[in-house]
Every structure is written in structure tokens, then in C-alpha cells.
Structure 1
Amino acid sequence: MDADYASDDEVDGWLDRLDRALACPSGHVGDLIFWPPERELSADEVVDQDLAYRPIPL
């Protein structure tokens, strides 16, 4: 991620807020950004995948 930020804690806070706002499990957004499953994703693709996330019923 290329951006200006004060610390890793600041980035972690942003990612945690995105996880909660999108009702994703903790770390889901960060995983898609930093460790995508197949290839690097655009910002739009990350948001689309996060919005499409549905938990697996147990």
C-alpha cells in the first residue's frame, strides 16, 4: 500500500473499521489488499468482494 500514514497502528485501525462497516470478519479487508488470493486487486475489486462477502452458516 502506497500512502502517507503515521504508523502501522493507524493502518490497522482503518482496516478494522472497514471490516466492521462491511460486516466482514476481522482481517478480511487487509487480506484482500495485502495478500489477494490470485492476483493484485484494484480498490474497486476489493470493495466489490467485501460487499459480496457472506458468512458460511454453521
Structure 2
Amino acid sequence: MDDKKGAVHERLTKAQIVDLVTSLYNGEGSEKEVGEWIELLQRNVPHPDISNLIFWPEKDLTPEEIVEKALNYKPIVL
């Protein structure tokens, strides 16, 4: 992973999360990098299906909208 993407266990800022989502959204990265970036995102956002928001969204979202949705996710409490 390059320096811009950070270490796998790093806590990311919102700007870094947007950067990662933008890279994934644009089809950047090797298969290994994509896996690492998804894992990093999963550790930094509460949304359980961040990869679905990026690759299989219910509607077209910009990377910024994807990040907002992922960060604002609240689980349904029964």
C-alpha cells in the first residue's frame, strides 16, 4: 500500500476515507490493494456493507455521498 492509503490498522480521517472510496470507485489498485483498502474501510466506518455501497449501490452515489452514508449508519435496535 502506498503512504496515501495508510496502514491496515490505522484510524482514518474523513478525508482519507473519501480518498480510499474514490480510489475504489474509480477502479484503482491491484486486487491485493483493493482487499486491503476494503478491510481498512470496514475498520473505520460503522456501516456493515461498505463494499456494497461502493460496488453495488441501490442508487448512484458519489464517493462523498457513500462516505456520508457509511459514517452516518445506525443499526436498527430491536
Per the normalisation by structure 2, the TM-score is 0.57
Specify which of 17, 24, 46 is matched with residue 47 of structure 2.
24
What is the CA-CA distance between 1:3 and the residue it aligns to? 4.4
Unmatched segments (≥5 aa) in structure 1: none
Structure with the larger RCO, 1 or 2 (CA within 8 Å, 6+ apart): 2
* Displaced runs of 4 or more, over 4 A: none
What is the CA–CA distance in structure 2 between the aligned matches of 1:24 and 1:4, rounded to whole Å? 22
Gaps of 5+ in 2: 1-24
Q: Check if 1:36 corresponds to 2:36.
A: no
Over aligned residues, Cα RMSD in angstroms? 1.7
Q: 1:14 aligns with which of 16, 20, 37?
A: 37
Give distance in 2, aligned partners of 1:57 and 1:9.
Answer: 35
How far the C-alpha of 1:42 sits from its partner, in A, is: 0.1
